[in-house]
Structures are given as C-alpha cells and as structure tokens.
Structure 1
Amino acid sequence: MASAFQAKGLQYWVSELAQAVLPILPGSAVEIRRLLEHPDTSLNQIGDLVAQDPVLRLHVLRACNNQFAEKAAGTLSNPHHCVSMLGMDNISALVDSLKPDCGANNRFEPRYLQAIIQSSHAAELALSWLPFRHQGNADQLVLACLLYGVPDWAMWRVASNEARMIDALVQQQRVPVEEAELAVLGCQRAELAKALAQHWHFSDQVCGAIHGAPIPSPAFLMRYARLAQKHSNDAASVRMPNKTEAGLLAHSQGFTVHLSNTLAQQSARSWYSKPTLRCQAIVAAYLDQPLVRILELTKSVALETSRRFAIVGVQSPAEGLLWPQPSAQRRRIKPSQMDAAVTKMASMLGQGSVPAKAPKSATPAPPSQRPDPLNQPRAIGIKSEKLPDGLDHHAIRSAPKPAAKPAAVFPGFVSAEKYADYETLINKLLHQPSAFSSEQEALRSITDCLYRCTELERVVVAVLNPERSKLEAYYAQGCSEAPALQRFTVQLQPPNLFTQLLRQPAATWISRERQQQIEGVIPGQFRQASQCEDFFLMSVFNQQGAYGLFYADRGLTDRIGLSEAEYKIFKSTGAHCSKYLMALQP
C-alpha cells in the first residue's frame, strides 16, 4: 500500500525552483546571440529584445536586482535601464549561462512554453487596462504579472509530476486551483511567487503586488459582476467603488495582477465558461466600462498576444475562441477525498516516471566463466579476413542482395505514420488521461484522429443535452460542405435508432442493403442532414450512462464504400473512448 503523500512546503519549493534553469524562447535565443556577436549592436537594441521576451526579461531584471538592488533608489523594473546598468559584457555572460534552446528532449516543453505565454497574456491584459484606470508604473506591473506565473514555468521544467497532479485535479476533477496547490505543494502559487521574488531581491512594492495586497471579497466582486452582466447590452457602465464595505481598497496594483492572471488562466481553459465571463464582468465594473467594450478589448489582447508568441504545438491565448462553450462540470472529488486522490496520483507517477536500472554485479565473473573472444563465431562474407576452405568465393561475392522486407500494411489507415499517430492517441486515452484537459478535448482529438488517419471523409461527435432528451452535434471534421450534418440535432422521443444505441454501448453499420430493413427507425431529419446511405454509428458511455455518439462515413462522392477494416477501427476507437470516460471519477 502506498504511503500517504506529504506536501513539501514553501521553503522546499523556493530552494528548488530558485535554481531552475529557465530557457528563453527559441526565436529570442537566436536573435540575442546574433546581436551580441555584431560589433555595432547598441544597448538600446538589446533592451528592445529583452522587453519582448518574458523569460529573458526576467533573467536580466533578476541579475540587475541581485547586483544593484541595495544601491539603487527605487525599483529596477525597466528592461532598458537594467540592460544599461549591467553592460554588454554582463549581458553576454548571462546569455552564455542559459541553455541555447528550449530542451527539445523534454516532453513537457510545450507546457513550459504555454505557461510563459499565459503569463505574457496576463501582463498584456494588465497593460491594456492602464488607459482606463492607472495603476502606477507599467514596468512594475508587467514584472509582477510575470513573477506571478514563474512557479508554473519552473515546475514544468523541474517538477513535472507535481505540475501534472495539479493540472489533473483542476482540469479533470474540477478542484479549485488554490485547493489543488495546497494539497500538492503545501503552499499556494501566489505566496510561492512572492517568496521567489524576495529571494531574488525584487522590491517590496513588486512583492506586495504579487501576494499580500488587499483583495476585495468574492461577495463584493460578484455583486458588481452581476450588475455588469445585467446591463451588458446597455451603453452605460457599472462602477466599482474604490473601497469595500470593510474599508479595504479595491483600487490596488495587487488586485490588477491577481485579476489579470485569473482571467488569463480561465480563458485558457474556456473562453465561454461562466468563470471567464464573470472575470470579464468584474473587469468591466473595475474599469467603469461597458461589458461589451471589455469583451472586445479582451479578445483583441488575446489575438495580439497569440500573434506575438506563435509557437507550433503550443496553445495560444486566442485558440479557445474557436471552440464552443463546454458543458458545465461539477466538482468530482470531495475535500475529504483529496489526500487519498493525491496519494494515488503520486504513486502512479512515481511508478512510471523513472525506469529501474539493472543492478550491477558486485563481483566480476571468474575468468573460467568468461566467454573466450577467440572461440566466438565470426561472420562469413566479403569483408572476412579468412574464408573456410571448400566455399565458392565467387558465388558468395556475386550473390544477389536479399529482397527488401515488404512494408508493413495497416488496413484501414492512410499510412504507417498515421497508424502510429492513432496508436499514440489510444495510448494517451488508456494510460495518460491527464494529457487531456477535459472530456471535450478528448472527443475533439478522437474526431481529428479518425479524420486524419483513416479514409473516413466525415466524422462527427454528438453529445446528450443536460435534459438527456436529444443528441446535439458537438464537433465535426470534413463537414464544411454539409452544414446540416455539422450541426444536426436528433430528438430521442419517439424512440428511434439513436434511442436504441444509447441504451447500451453499441455500434452499427448502416449500408444500402440494410436501408429498407430499418427504414422506419432512422429519423427523417437526420437522413436529410447526412444524405448518405452508408455510415457508421457508435455510442459512448461514462459512469452516469450514455454520454454521446460518433458518426462517420466516406462522403457523398465515394464510390468504393466502407470496409470491414474501417468498421473495426471505428468500433475499437469508440470502445477506447468509453473506457476513458468511465475511468474519470464522477
């Protein structure tokens, strides 16, 4: 039985993360070295590049504060000022001490980069609010926003298991972020970020903005958020007062840092969820602006940040604008179950993270038991020094080369590479469920994989509505010319083919030969939407029962028809999806 998990606490994580190597962004690494090697480069050019890269900015400001914080009057937060104080030689030495790339061998590198972009998104949000409500020095505000997210950056580099545990608790089990951080780390991220900032000798003003500043109560914020949402269609705005009923200031740099990071985190999960919309309503009341204007401003900031930090394979802040609103999810782990859940996660990650090495023999084998290299069989061929007598040397040398091994055939798949992609997805579904932030992401990934890896031309996943009275198309691939199929809806009453499929996990292959036999059970509305006589259907289930259904066909122009291999792949994928959904705790 696994021993109970013990969170390590604030002091341990400060000493661990303070020494973490944080690589700068790939493009900036190349550019900064090019500038440093050019003899005509000015400190102003270096400062411009430092201001653009959040990690390089943090390294330069940290080095400057470590060296000059006690002598300088005020806060050293301006990148150009810090670059001029350090000088070209110190900047060059600092860049040489950093890794030149972002660690391509680290499989969590995309999450590290995504955490950096999320912090940059928060900083850009805070800057966009300054014209409406001034919060002091803009450089200090950006620095505080970046430092607020540094624990996330560092943990994906040196403590990926703990980062994955927090991510699984928040994304899959719907545990509040602060509670998940306390259970896994023994402290909250904000106080860890403040302790790191103090360890790096940043000013008290910056440290106070990260954690410890007076924050209005949730009840106070919710009151004005509801008022802003109530008047969302009006040109008038709802103004939040400068002080709460308890006399706390609502107008502070710390509140801006907290609010911008919260909005960046929530929008990364879903742009259309209630927490994200609530955050934007709070921003509207805080800035005394109409909610419609704040919605436009928030989206434009996300788009601009996505353009600045366009990295292949890393989720951008504006990416979630493309996805529909996910279904509401309740918390799945009770507070009393947290310790057991974290202990289970820690034991699972500990067993699979580091492969055991074979123990070395304490004493070498005696000479009599060692193989004699002189008696080992030697290869016979053209390059052998001596060939045994009696062999036809000419026949050996002129023998034809062996026939090439036939390429592996994967029926139903486009190619061997696509088969490998499919196997990777199935492995994630069954063995790495935390790789998906939600059930919706898993459904989209399955739909994309079936569309890209097989000959299926149209793939749609539909889910049950909360009342469980109808199926609604959620995500589709290959249906750009069939909008009715892309957005189809099927009522489950009166009973029909879909009602039968949702009673238990089942798959069916509807073909031209079977159309007459089931003529009365296929809803006419769906028949008009698909306009196809040859298609697959399969239902998927979670622990509460029926969850949804997958549809696939070869399109309207296909003359070959579906195959047994494709049907086998389709059924297997649906079964694996149900296993993934069933494994998630209710």
Structure 2
Amino acid sequence: MIDKSPSGLNEWLHFLKNKKFPVRAVNLARLKTQIKRTEDTLDGMQANIASDPLLAFAILNEANRIIPNKNNEIKTPFHAAAMVGMNGIAKLLSHFAPYEPNTQKKPPHLVAFLSEIQTSYEAATIARHWSIEKLTSQEDDIFWITLFRDSARWLLWFYAYPTMAALKQRIQQGEKASQAELNILGCRIDELTVHLCNHWHTPNKVIESFLTKHIPNAKELQALAHLANHPDELPGFTEDKRLTILVNNPLIFSYCANKVAHEASLMRWDSKNLPFFYRVVATVMHKRLSDIIKTAHFASTEAATLFNNGGKIPLAQQLLDPDLYLGKTRSKPKTSLSPIAALKKALKQNKEYDTKQKTGLALKAIKQAIPNAQHSIIFKHSNNKTAPMYQFGYNIDVIKAIQWSAPSSVFKKLSDKRSAIHIFGQKLDNLLKDLPHTSDQIIDANSHLILASTQTSKDETAIFWLETRTEFNEIDYKNLKQIVSLISHNIL
C-alpha cells in the first residue's frame, strides 16, 4: 500500500511495472514442489497453473518474451508452459508475491483484488460462450484474452487500493468512467494496461483488444448497436467494409463481455447501460437480443461454479433476486452524488437559471469538490464592468474596496474567452501587476491562484478566483474546469 498515489501515466508505469504478481501461497508452494520432483511433468502442472490467473499470465508473458509469436496468435498458458519448460518456470518464482486468501479477516485490498479477478473470470466466460455460438473456433484464445486484459486493474486494486476505491465511488455516483480515471489516476486504465503489457511482453492479441484498429470506436459501436434494432435486416449491414471487418474479429466479444461483466458487477444486471453492449453482440452474431442476454446469464452461472474465489458474491446469484427487473419495487442502495454530479443534475432540472443562480450552485460545488480552496470569489462581467457576486474566506470590506473594473490584461483575457490558469510562486509574483488595481493585497507570498472564466449567458461572463495559502493540486484544477464548463452558456 502507498501513502501518496502516483499521478499520470509515467508515474503509474514506474510504480507498477516492477511490482511482483500476487499468487496464492498454496499454489506457489505446490509449484515449487512440482519443479523439484523429477517425476512431475508439465501436463501434471496444468491444473496448478490454471488455478491462479497471475501465475498463468506470467508464464504466458515469459513464453512470448523467449519466442515471440510471429503470427500474433495467443496460446494457452499450458502451451506457454511447454515452451518455457521447467527451468524457465523456476526462474519466474522470484517474480511472485504469495498471499493467503483464507484468513479469517481478509484486508480490504485483498478482498477487492479477489473480487476484480472473479469479475474478470465472469467476463472471460461470457466472451467464450458468445464465441462458441458464433462458431469462431477461437473460444479458448478469447477466454484468456478477456481474462488477462484486466491484469493491470488487478494490480491497481492490490497495490493502490485507496485510489481505486475513490475511483469506484465516483463511477457509482454517476461520473463517466473515463473521466473519473483521468481525474483520479491522471490517465486511462486501458492506456496504462497497454504500456504495461508491452513491458511484460504480453502477447499482441491481448494488447490488440484495446486498440480501435481491431475493436470498434464509440461511433462504430453506436452503428452496430443501432443495427440490432432491425434483426430481420441484419444481412444488409455488410455494405460497410469496416464494420464487416470488426464483426468478424472475435476480439469484439472480449471487449463487450468485459464491459458487461464490469457494469453488472458495479451497477447490477438491470443497469441501463447493459442493453447497448447486448445490441452490439446481437448484431455481430445475427441473433435476437434475448438470445444474447440468455447466453450471458448462462455463462455467469458457469463462472460462479468454476471460478468462485470468495472475493465477492458471484454475478449469477443476482439472477436469483425475484425483484431484479421489477423497477421501483426493488429498493436500491442509495449512493450520494458527487458535488460535480449534483451540480450537473441541478442544472439539467432547470435550464432557465440566470448567471447568479448558476454561479451560486457552482460555488456550492466548489466548496465540496475543492476543499483546498481557502478563499474564493465569483465575478460577473457585463457591459465592460466586473463586480463580485459571491465570495467566501475574505474580509468583505476589503473585497468591496478593490477596484475590480480597473484596467487589467488578465481580467480582459478572462472576459473575452473561456480560460483557465493555475499559477503560484514567481509566475504569480510576475502576474500581480496585471491584476485589477489593489487586488494584490489579498495575495500572500505562499498563495496558489486559480483563475477561470466562461460565458454564462449571451451578454454575461462569470470569472472565478480561487486562492489558497497552501497549494492546489491537479485534481483541484481539473474539478474547477469541469464546474466552469457545466455552467457555460448553451452547454446543456
């Protein structure tokens, strides 16, 4: 565990790329014994290798490192073990960190790690069954590709539990996963996974499952999902050559099954986002939506039997809930919205808010989402005049005495177009002369200042002034930009 999480792709790569792979202590001990006994064969070790995903993953990577697969076809960990041999497997032992899963009270990071692995097994089993029904003859490859594409996520939960817990909370509160990852981690998990897989020498097929050259981008997913609304016309969609290539690539099962399993695990089977991916698969398989859902549910029950490691309640158990699809009759656990999500909801409920009402809501979000802001002022600029509307933390008489409408190159830029800047130290000292006259009296030698602006109506602009005597971090800056964007004119 770490006290201060890395931030950004390079820092996370540096943090994770040399971390040992967590492997069950009993599996590791059994493997060491099997290597020492001359009577044991690789065939006899298969069950042990398959029983621990990171053990299998490491062997697969080692085989690909020693003998790069020119055809880019993923092989099973059993085939990889044969390529590496007993001596090669023995050299990998130092790369593993043993853990005991059967302790009476598991630590939170271990529970989360095991839960994530189980969700990955559920995704892999769903992908395998869809592949079988499409008759791709690649169902085993698809199983392992889908399982291992979550490898970086497993390590994040094991070694950076507090950060991942914060990320999960944001997504459950309604924030888009991609945005939450950027806000919390400073990078996308998919991007991090691709870089780590390259470092680990993971077979190309796993890496390709993240690349839009091999799987649909957002626009193409929409097109495929739309085609499922007309099942009787599906054969006609082959006019688009790009879509034809995509639907004939089994990696689309890996991608969609991963999305389905993670969404169901996070938001339950009745999540409103699941039908979108079901429709994509229905188009790929030329089948009706009900058949796709039935296969996904059946696969989850198989995963519950074969891969239940005690990390969480299996997805299949949710299907026994008699109220699962009955809407209002089932009480869902309530989760409070994040400050930014609450602001977005409030603005959507009433699109007639004026500048003062919008900025009042924005100030409330700032107080909750940016706790580092010790002082804040929100100005309204119109008719070439700038005046404070709201403030907290400062002496009100001092604020009123400052000539905010005095000529200022900084405020002129803020009033002319949407802008944002985070300054401190020497840069802030150099900027003081360009701020409104006498405003430098509320700036301290240790101050950090964030300035941002946006047009809030046809003739009005809001200017945000956030100042602290400690420091603002990158998340504070990103949160303010998101808040400012939400109240922008015609944004909704």
Same fold per superposition (TM over 0.5): yes
Structure 2 letter corresponding to 1:20: K
CA contact (8 A) 2:62 2:201 kept: no
Of 236, 249, 264, the match for 1:267:
264
The alignment covers a number of residue pairs equal to 335
The equivalent residue for 1:101 is: 99
Structure showing greater Rg: 1
Equivalences for 1:141-540 in 2 at 5 Å? 141-171=142-172, 173-213=173-213, 215-216=215-216, 218=218, 221-222=221-222, 225=225, 228=228, 238=234, 241-242=237-238, 244=240, 249-251=245-247, 252-268=249-265, 269-323=267-321, 324-325=324-325, 332=338, 333-334=340-341
Q: Distance in 2 between matches of 1:342 and 1:152?
A: 26
For 1:340 and 1:239, how far apart are their aligned partners in 2?
55
CA RMSD of aligned residues (A): 3.7
Q: Is the 8 A contact 1:125 1:260 kept in 2?
A: yes
Provide the TM-score with structure 2 as the length reference.
0.58
Secondary structure of the corresponding residue to residue 21 of structure 2: coil
Aligned to 1:113: 114
Residue 357 of structure 2 is matched in structure 1 by: none
Which residue is 1:578 aligned to? none
CA contact (8 A) 1:227 1:238 kept: yes
Q: Which amino acid aligns with 2:46?
A: G
Within 2, Cα distance between the matches of 1:194 and 1:109?
24
Change in 2 beyond 3 A, CA 1:79/1:287: same
Aligned equivalents of 2:296 and 2:130: distance in 1?
Answer: 10
CA distance in 2, matches of 1:285, 1:277: 12
Output the amino acid matched with 1:123: A
Contact 2:128 2:140 in 1 (8 A): no
Show CA shifts across 1:62-81 (max 9, x none).
222233338x6755633222
Verify the 8 A CA contact 1:237 1:289 in the aligned structure 2: no
Is the CA contact 2:167–2:180 (under 8 Å) kept in the aligned structure 1? yes
1:159: Cα distance to partner?
A: 1.0
Q: Which residue of 1 aligns with 2:453?
A: none
Change (3 A) 1:208 1:38: same
Q: Give the number of the structure whose residues are more often helix, by fraction.
A: 2
1:43 counterpart residue number = 42
TM-score (norm 1): 0.50
- What secondary structure sits across from 2:108 in the alignment? coil
**% same residue:** 21
Hey, what's the Cα distance between the residues in 2 that align with 1:68 and 1:119? 27
Label 1:213 to 1:134 Cα distance change in 2 as closer, same or farther (>3 A): farther
The residue type equivalent to 1:167 in the other structure is K
Take 1:189 and 1:307, find their aligned partners in 2: how far apart are those partners?
29
CA pair 7-17 structure 1, distance change in 2 beyond 3 A: closer
Structure 1: gaps of 5 or more residues: 346-586
CA distance in 2, matches of 1:43, 1:157: 29
- Deviation digits for residues 302-349 of structure 1, max 9, x if unmatched? 01111112233523231322342466999753498899877669xxxx
**Residue 76 (structure 2) aligned to one of 72, 75, 78:** 78
Residue 239 and residue 120 in structure 1: after superposition, are their counterparts in 2 closer, same or farther (change >3 A)?
farther
| Contact 2:132/2:139 (<8 A) preserved | no
Residues 343, 197 of structure 1: alpha-carbon distance in 2 compared, 3 angstrom cutoff? farther
**Secondary structure at the residue paired with 1:99?**
strand
Q: 1-side partners of 2:57 and 2:368: how far apart?
A: 35
Distance in structure 2 (CA, Å) of the matches to 1:291 and 1:237: 14
Aligned to 1:19: 18
Q: Which runs of 5+ in 2 are unaligned?
A: 345-361, 373-492
Q: Judging changes above 3 Å, is the alpha-carbon distance between structure 1 residues 28 and 318 closer, same or farther for their aligned structure 2 residues?
A: farther
